[in-house]
Amino acid sequence: MIIVMKPDSKEKDIESISRLLEKLGLGVHISKGTQRTIIGVIGDKNLLRDIPLDLLPGVEKLVPIVESYKLASKTFKPEPSVIEIDGVKIGGSELVMIAGPCAVENPEQIMETARKVKEAGAKILRGGTFKPRTSPYSFQGLEEEGLKMMKDAKEATGLLLLTEVTSERALEIADKYVDMFQIGARNAQNFQLLREVGRSRKPVVYKRGPSQTIEEWLNAAEYIMSEGNYNVILCERGIRTFETATRFTLDVSAVPVIKSLSHLPIIVDPSHAAGKAQYVAPLARAAIAAGADGLIVEVHPNPMCALSDASQQITPDLFSDLCKDIRGIAPLLGRTFTAAC
């Protein structure tokens, strides 16, 4: 349930309602909008059975939340969430580019990629260091060694760092190096891992599982948020359909659907959806046109020789061209996109 306060409600009204709810053992989430404050109530609403909340000073109305997810819901927080990491804002008017190789392979590869994607307009460097591969015999990632290489690239370029975490151990190690965590599609319903990243306060790029409905995705995001980490960025990366021409099918409609159901930012990964480099840029442009807050793109200096996802990684030059396209499209959509140079 949410308690919508009157536009002229006093701070002390909000405080006394919050205290009352907390005393009853309920969770309280306050969302201050431009017009009104909304108090979100989490927990067993039966505890409020005998309390005439709607008669308390400052209260305008009580609204039940019909969705099974609460904290992620737009009813709970009507204003879009903007997640800020060291001055980079995701979910505001500025589009954000995250780019880098599927996996960190060696110091030269990650440094060269970092310098080039920064020049093209990326603000965040991605790099897999714990790789969830289909086969246990495929390259599994450089783990902490790879994270050290990413840190050097950050020092040289100022890019923020993002890596996927696949376990509690990976999370503990990555926490020493990166600014943001990624939960990959294969772990989209690993609720224990979602709770673990929920206990951190670092932003989480949370990818949709290939077979997850939007409702299941938002419910799973709630696992992160219910632990207190509201810095969740949803990422559409393609779902499984009968189509085999692409690796997955990019669900572009997930972007406006999420925007109508949730206040969380949503970005799109065209690389894993396409599975082929030639489709990455068109899908990326479609995602931005549909209202995505940014993109996460796999970029490798020499894709043919990549140790993972070789067929879908694009060169820094192609990434730079894509950024130019996005710069052209952004103003048509009321967005901005500023490159470093």
Q: Which stretch binds ligand PEP (CB under 6 A): 15-23, 32-40, 180-188, 284-292?
A: 180-188
**Between 206 and 230, CB nearer to ligand PEP:** 206
User: Binding mask 225-264 vs ligand PEP (x if CB under 6 A, - otherwise)?
Assistant: ------------x---------------------------
Asked whether the beta carbons of 301 and 112 are under 8 A apart, the reply is: yes
- Nearest alpha-carbon partner for 203 in 283, 287, 264, 131: 264
54: left (phi over 0), alpha (psi -120 to 50) or beta: alpha
What number of chain residues touch ligand PEP (CB under 6 A)? 11
- What is the footprint of Mn ion within residues 271-330 (CB under 5 A)? 309
- Three-state SS annotation for the chain: CEEEECCCCCHHHHHHHHHHHHHCCCEEEEEECCCCEEEEEECCHHHHCCCCHHHCCCEEEEECCCCCCCCCECCCCCCCCCEEECCEEECCCECEEEEECCECCCHHHHHHHHHHHHHHCCCEEECECCCCCCCCCCCCCCCHHHHHHHHHHHHHHCCEEEEECCCHHHHHHHCCCCCEEEECHHHCCCHHHHHHHHHCCCCEEEECCCCCCHHHHHHHHHHHHCCCCCCEEEEECCECCCCCCCCCECCCCHHHHHHHHECCCEEECHHHHHCCHHHHHHHHHHHHHCCCCEEEEEECCCHHHCCCCCCCCECHHHHHHHHHHHHHHHHHHCCECCCCC
Out of Mn ion, ligand PEP, none, what residue 184 binds, judged by CB under 5 to 8 A for its kind, is: ligand PEP
User: Binding mask 257-296 vs ligand PEP (x if CB under 6 A, - otherwise)?
Assistant: ------------x--x------------------------
Out of ligand PEP, Mn ion, none, what residue 209 binds, judged by CB under 5 to 8 A for its kind, is: none
207 part of the interface to ligand PEP, by CB under 6 A: yes
184 part of the interface to ligand PEP, by CB under 6 A: yes
Q: Work out which of 41, 102, 174, 280 binds Mn ion, going by CB under 5 A.
A: 102
**Between 121 and 209, CB nearer to ligand PEP:** 209
Q: Work out which of 39, 153, 161, 185 binds ligand PEP, going by CB under 6 A.
A: 185
- What is the footprint of ligand PEP within residues 13-52 (CB under 6 A)? none
Name the minimum Å distance from CB 162 to ligand PEP. 9
User: Binding mask 125-164 vs ligand PEP (x if CB under 6 A, - otherwise)?
Assistant: ---x---x-------------------------------x
Residue nearest to ligand PEP (CB): 184
**Between 13 and 236, CB nearer to ligand PEP:** 236
Q: How far is the first Cα of the chain from the last one, in angstroms, to the nearest whole number? A: 47
Asked whether the beta carbons of 296 and 269 are under 8 A apart, the reply is: yes
300 part of the interface to ligand PEP, by CB under 6 A: no
Name the minimum Å distance from CB 118 to ligand PEP. 19
Q: Which stretch binds Mn ion (CB under 5 A): 28-36, 99-107, 136-144, 234-242?
A: 99-107
**Contacting residues toward Mn ion, per CB under 5 A:** 102, 309
**Contacting residues toward ligand PEP, per CB under 6 A:** 102, 128, 132, 164, 184-186, 207, 237, 269, 272
